[in-house]
Structure 1
Amino acid sequence: MNKEIYLPLTVLKNDEITNEQILILYEDMVLGRNFEDMCAQMYYRGKMFGFVHLYNGQEAVATGVIKALDRCDYVCSTYRDHVHALSKGVPPEDIMAELFGKETGCSKGRGGSMHIFSAQYNFLGGFAFIAEGIPIALGAAFQSIYQKQVLSCKDKVKVTAAFFGDGTSNNGQFFECLNMAVLWKLPIIFVVENNQWAIGMAHHRSTSKPEIYKKAEAFGMPGIEVDGMDVLAVKKVTEEAVNRARLGEGPTLIEALTYRFRGHSLADPDELRANAEKEAWISRDPILRLANYITENNIDTKSSLNIIQDRVKKAVSNAIDFALSSPEPKLADLKKYLFVD
């Protein structure tokens, strides 16, 4: 591992994070990367259909944000949702079966890649259109406050994390929801995964104010920019935002600067981005940076990290076997989940 290429990560104090927690972050990111790589293989073998948008390169954002949340908190995603669901705890086999369109999938095979959902894990779903999930996340944050203030719920305030891309920050729903969240001091964290490209449009060419986090200022909301390739930095700023939300101090906008290593979707030949730009970001691979941090600081050994990688590969392989052996939805059940029983 080249120490001159893989930049050092944010150094956290022992009372901020334990070695065990760091290894959990590492395994979560490795799971996300391996899962997506296998999705690419299965897609090109004709096991998945439709559009499939992979998350490679952005793992530090999903892991850093979601692992700062509690099990009871909510996550709302985008069409690039597989890894968000994995980080929230949705089992790999349930997601893979959904991608295969099987009855055992977390959306019963009816949603596919862009509509992963799990009520059990408070994962509010992926959404095919940009900004579509932000109002859903806002509603989850509102009900959390309503339960506390009106229904006198004794549990701690549940926080919602809403993920979306840089292209969404030019959408009207983004601004409307920021305004409403501040007005009602909702416990929500707006997470902009700025991967520099909105499909084929470079971010700096599509907005008059490229620094998205500064847009929070207009609403009186804290806006934070963070290195989205540094999982420790992402986790730290998210924990601060979560604490603010639980204390009733309202929302936070986090802009995570990151990069997708693959094209917009698996149908995208990815010819618009310059090779030099890709190489510059790939040299900051968040997984390799964390692995380097772990070994350099004697948190664990390279052989132990290899064991984690083997465990993850086995879990992903088991997910494939589960999906392949699962039954197809029955034609007679075509309308089964359109309405609540």
Structure 2
Amino acid sequence: MLEAYRRMVKIRAFEERVGADSMSGLIPGFVHLYAGEEAAAVGVCLNLTDDDWIGSTHRGHGHCIAKGCGVEEMMLEIHGKQGGLCGGKGGSMHIADLDKGMLGANGIVGGSPPLAVGAALSAKVRRTGAVAVAFFGDGASNQGTTAEALNMAVVLQVPVLFVLENNGYGEFTAASYHSAGVDLAQRAAGFGLTAVKVDGNDFFAVHDAARTLIERARQESLPAFLEIDVKRWHGHFTGDQQPYRSAEELAAVRLFDPISSFRSRVVDAGLLDADALTAIDREIDELIERSAEIAMAAPLPPVAAVTQDVYVSY
């Protein structure tokens, strides 16, 4: 439980700092913040090891941290600096760390499901015992790549878990408008997948559901689908003024806070000590501040690096 809290707080603090630096013009390119959705990534990834694989989305910082990627290396990457996880050339939407089983954040909507199916097929053929997880949003649920991946996972019976983080918006468009049939878990069940829906404000509900489906995939090579209801605290990207959301909705979204919910629940039940959690808050604040300072002071990649990691000779 302490590790769950630490990872969720690390995601929140990281996103708050990245969001502020992005709005100040210190970070190049677009940034898509994960704040408000922390229990989804952490609840799933705490059931995984470094040998398991995840595929992410354009809103991928939370998945990276939940899977164990280093925040200093992530901060360097987002700032476009040497020492970043991708040499400072990938940026926010293309962070990857294969040592941690992180196949990469992805600017392609619906890009992670087929990647995860491929990783799961590899694990099955090689008998490694690994599981693959595809994170994607409600907007990606309407992509052909996602439908093909769901079908292929069932046909091939591979150990993959599809995790739909339903924050109610595909970029600026409400799911009630962009999706024919709002029950996306039911749509997945139509492919023959075991499909479960949980509240993303409840870390324990996410963790327990993910644990059951991941262990089932690991032991029986059976794919599954987990829909997590989450709330996006910020706009589609930093700077998005969100005219498509009412003031009442934006205020209500902040009441959906998985970290506060977790903290209240474990402290009230006497499971964890409030002072221990506050100490974690301070520890993480110092880590994020130090990482940001290192990133801003670090040099840019050399010009000669522009062709590195672009082409591979097989």
Question: What TM-score comes out, normalization by structure 1 length?
Answer: 0.89
**Residue 50, structure 1, aligned to residue 22, structure 2:** no
Aligned mates of 1:129, 1:340 — CA distance in 2: 22
1:212-231 alignment, distance < 5 Å: 212-231=184-203
SS at match of 1:69: coil
Q: Are 1:78 and 1:114, in contact at CA under 8 Å, matched by a contact in 2?
A: yes
Q: Are 2:50 and 2:99, in contact at CA under 8 Å, matched by a contact in 1?
A: no
**Residue 293, structure 1, aligned to residue 272, structure 2:** no
**Residue 94, structure 1, aligned to residue 66, structure 2:** no
Q: Give the equivalent residue in structure 2 for 1:69.
A: 48
Q: Are 2:23 and 2:239, in contact at CA under 8 Å, matched by a contact in 1?
A: no
**Residue 166, structure 1, aligned to residue 145, structure 2:** no
Q: Give the equivalent residue in structure 2 for 1:106.
A: 85
Aligned mates of 1:86, 1:52 — CA distance in 2: 16
Larger displacement relative to structure 2 (265-274 or 158-167): 265-274
CA deviation string 1:28-86 (max 9, x = no partner): 10100000000011112222111100001000101101111122111110011111111
Q: Give the equivalent residue in structure 2 for 1:175.
A: 147
Aligned mates of 2:111, 2:256 — CA distance in 1: 30
SS at match of 1:161: strand
Q: Kindly, what percent of the aligned residue pairs are identical? A: 33
Unaligned runs of 5+ in 1: 1-21, 149-154
Unaligned runs of 5+ in 2: none
Q: Give the equivalent residue in structure 1 for 2:301.
A: 329
Q: Give the equivalent residue in structure 2 for 1:116.
A: 95
Q: Give the equivalent residue in structure 1 for 2:17.
A: 38
Q: Give the equivalent residue in structure 2 for 1:309.
A: 281
Q: Give the equivalent residue in structure 1 for 2:241.
A: 269
Q: Give the superposition deviation at 1:249.
A: 4.2
Query: What is the aligned length?
Result: 313
SS at match of 2:72: helix
CA deviation string 1:184-207 (max 9, x = no partner): 111100000000111111111111
Q: Are 1:51 and 1:267, in contact at CA under 8 Å, matched by a contact in 2?
A: no
Aligned mates of 1:276, 1:186 — CA distance in 2: 43
Q: Are 2:124 and 2:221, in contact at CA under 8 Å, matched by a contact in 1?
A: no
Q: Give the superposition deviation at 1:122.
A: 1.0
Q: Give the equivalent residue in structure 2 for 1:251.
A: 223
Aligned mates of 2:255, 2:304 — CA distance in 1: 51
The Cα RMSD (Å) is: 1.2
The amino acid across from 2:254 in the alignment is I
SS at match of 1:126: coil
Aligned mates of 1:237, 1:284 — CA distance in 2: 20
Aligned mates of 1:263, 1:161 — CA distance in 2: 25
SS at match of 1:114: helix
SS at match of 2:22: helix
Q: Give the superposition deviation at 1:314.
A: 0.8
**Residue 129, structure 1, aligned to residue 103, structure 2:** no
Q: Give the equivalent residue in structure 2 for 1:152.
A: none
SS at match of 2:198: strand
Aligned mates of 1:337, 1:179 — CA distance in 2: 32
Question: What TM-score comes out, normalization by structure 2 length?
Answer: 0.97
Aligned mates of 2:293, 2:312 — CA distance in 1: 31
Q: Give the equivalent residue in structure 2 for 1:280.
A: 252
Q: Are 1:187 and 1:245, in contact at CA under 8 Å, matched by a contact in 2?
A: yes
CA deviation string 1:162-216 (max 9, x = no partner): 0000011111111111010011111100000000111111111111210111112
SS at match of 1:247: helix
Aligned mates of 2:265, 2:298 — CA distance in 1: 40
